[in-house]
Structure 1
Amino acid sequence: MKKIKNEAELVAEALRVGALYIKKRGVGEFEASDSAKNKVTYLYRLLAHDKLIQPLAKGQDNEPNMRHKLALWISRQLPEDHPLLKD
């Protein structure tokens, strides 16, 4: 797994955008008391269920890999000139 530049910031943006997606889809919403790990897991599983990202192989579905997948997903959703995608 190749490390993505600004991965932590991309994951934070993915959680922000993902929270909007979850609410718009009507399947719940993130609470302030939810842990980051739970948010990452829920968003990853929802996106995989909706076929917006390719699911990880069995045995590879751990938090670091889920965070990486979310970072890849959001990097494809952002415009090319977005500050998080700059080198």
Structure 2
Amino acid sequence: MKKLKNEKELIKKAIALGMIYGEKRGAVQFEKTDSANEKIEYIYRLLVHDKLMQPLPEEQVSQQSIRHKLAIWASKQKT
């Protein structure tokens, strides 16, 4: 897995877009006390559930791989 050039910024963008998507959909209400890791995992699972993203094989699911996958997703989103 090759790290993206601006992966940190893309992760921030993915969290912001994912939070908006989840709340508009009515699937989640994020709290200020939720950690970034919790948000990232929930957003990933929601996007996979809604078939907006291909799932990783369950044995490859980790915070690092989820972050990378969300960064790729965010890079393809129009803002």
> Are 1:2 and 2:7 an aligned pair?
no
**Structure 2 partner of 1:84:** none
**Structure 2 partner of 1:74:** 74
Letter in 2 for 1:39: K
* Runs of 4+ with >2 A deviation: none
- Give distance in 2, aligned partners of 1:21 and 1:58: 24
Stretches of structure 1 lacking an aligned partner (at least 5 in a row): 80-87
Deviation of 1:78 (Å): 3.1
The count of aligned residue pairs is: 79
Q: Among all aligned residue pairs of Structure 1 and Structure 2, give the percentage whose two residues are the same amino acid.
A: 52
Stretches of structure 2 lacking an aligned partner (at least 5 in a row): none
Letter in 2 for 1:71: A
Deviation of 1:26 (Å): 0.3
Normalising by structure 1, what TM-score? 0.86
Deviations 1:31-59 (CA, angstroms, capped at 9, x unpaired): 11000110000000000111101000121
CA RMSD across the alignment: 1.0
**Structure 1 partner of 2:51:** 51
Matching of residues 26-65 of structure 1 within 5 Å: 26-65=26-65
- Give distance in 2, aligned partners of 1:30 and 1:5: 28
- Give distance in 2, aligned partners of 1:31 and 1:3: 29
Normalising by structure 2, what TM-score? 0.95
Deviation of 1:28 (Å): 1.3
- Give distance in 1, aligned partners of 2:34 and 2:24: 19
